[in-house]
Amino acid sequence: MQSAEDEDQVETPDEAAEAEVPADDPVVLAEQRAAELAQKLKDTEARLRAVSKAFTDQKGEMAEFRQRVERQEAVRLQRREFEVAQTFFEPVQNLRRSLASATDVPPSFLEGLALVQQQFDEALLRLGLERVAGVGSAFDPGVHEAIGTAPVDDPAHDGLVLMVHEDGFQVGGKVLQAAKVVIGRHLPATPGEA
């Protein structure tokens, strides 16, 4: 019969096999080295995934930053173009009115001023100046200023611009001067009218 001490000392088959293999056995050393290398490979792959994800995230953030800066620059440029057009708009309009009402002025002088006005108009067009839609367009309170209404027989002309008293202009969709217009107003015939 075995004592309790002997039972504690009984070796399992795996323990017996390990005890028989010397510590400097090349197979055991190779297996240990392979296990170490496998763990290093797993750690390196995990680090590589983390760095790759960080790089991808950083690349996405940089693309978003670049797009945000480009949008801000486009808005700033559009605002600047509007400000420059606004600065020159009224003097050019005054020049246009002066040319239209000039009397007793030598024709060559008028031709020279008309050429200067044309150059200003071309410069304003390059800045994005556009004429607001006029006769025949639907009345838009954002770009038109109604100075009156006129009766129309055709209901299709109700709410349309019939006459432009002063042209309107905008730069980049922002109104520089609203067009002063007369709007068509269709009034249905009353039963007593014939």
Q: What is the pLDDT of residues 130-174, one digit of tens each?
A: 888 889 899 999 999 999 999 988 888 899 999 999 889 998 888
Q: What residues does each domain of the chain span? A: 11-127, 130-194
The fold of 130-194 is Nucleotide Exchange Factor Grpe; Chain A, domain 2 (2.30.22)
DSSP state letters, 94-155: HHHHHHHH--S--HHHHHHHHHHHHHHHHHHHHTTEEEPP-TTSBP-TTTEEEEEEEEESSG
35-46 mean pLDDT: 94
- Mean residue pLDDT of the chain comes to 85
Q: Provide the pLDDT for residue 147.
A: 93
50-109 pLDDT per residue, tens:
999 999 999 999 999 999 999 999 999 988 888 888 888 888 888 888 888 887 888 888
Q: Measuring CA to CA, how many Å separate 100 from each of 93, 107, 147, 177?
A: 11, 13, 22, 19
DSSP-derived secondary structure letter, 170: E
Closest CA to 138 of 168, 162, 167: 162
**Gap between the Cα atoms of 70 and 154, Å rounded:** 49
**Which pLDDT score, from 0 to 100, does residue 36 have?**
93
